[in-house]
Amino acid sequence: MTDTIIIILASVALALFLGILIILVNTLLPKERKKPEKVERLLEIVPKRDCGACGYAGCEEYVKAIVEDPERAKTEKCPLMSRDKKKIEEVENILGVNLQEKE
């Protein structure tokens, strides 16, 4: 009988220990990093086709590149939205650059 009680108490203690360990690890591990706000906003605008026509592997890579250096957006454009003035204006507002300058 005593052995049974000891086994039950050890099981409960082990369960508590593992529960606390899981909570600690979950709290201490880094969470998935949130994308910068400009990247999130631009991802709402780009066509999301991941076609690579802009020279990047996909839309997210393109957006990250133009957020990092907005001047890139003047020469490295997404051909799928280059004729959509409304989208270009939204991109200009987010990046703070003029993409419709006459050359």
Contacting residues for 27 by C-beta, under 8 A, at least 6 apart: none
Residue 50 contacts ligand SF4 per CB under 6 A: yes
Please state the closest distance from residue 84 (CB atom) to ligand SF4, in A: 11
What does the DSSP assignment read for 51-71? --TTSSSSHHHHHHHHHH-TT
Query: For ligand SF4, which residue of 35, 43, 58, 84 counts as binding (CB under 6 A)?
Result: 58
Residue 63 in contact with residue 42, Cβ under 8 Å? yes
Q: Return the biggest CA–CA distance within the chain.
A: 90
Q: Which stretch binds ligand SF4 (CB under 6 A): 10-18, 19-27, 42-50, 94-102?
A: 42-50
**Cβ atoms within 10 Å of 60's Cβ, excluding its own:** 16
Residues in contact with ligand SF4, shown as a per-residue x/- string from 75 to 94 under the rule CB under 6 A: ---xxx--------------
Judged by the rule CB under 6 A, the positions of this chain that interact with ligand SF4 are 46-47, 49-54, 56, 58-59, 62, 78-80
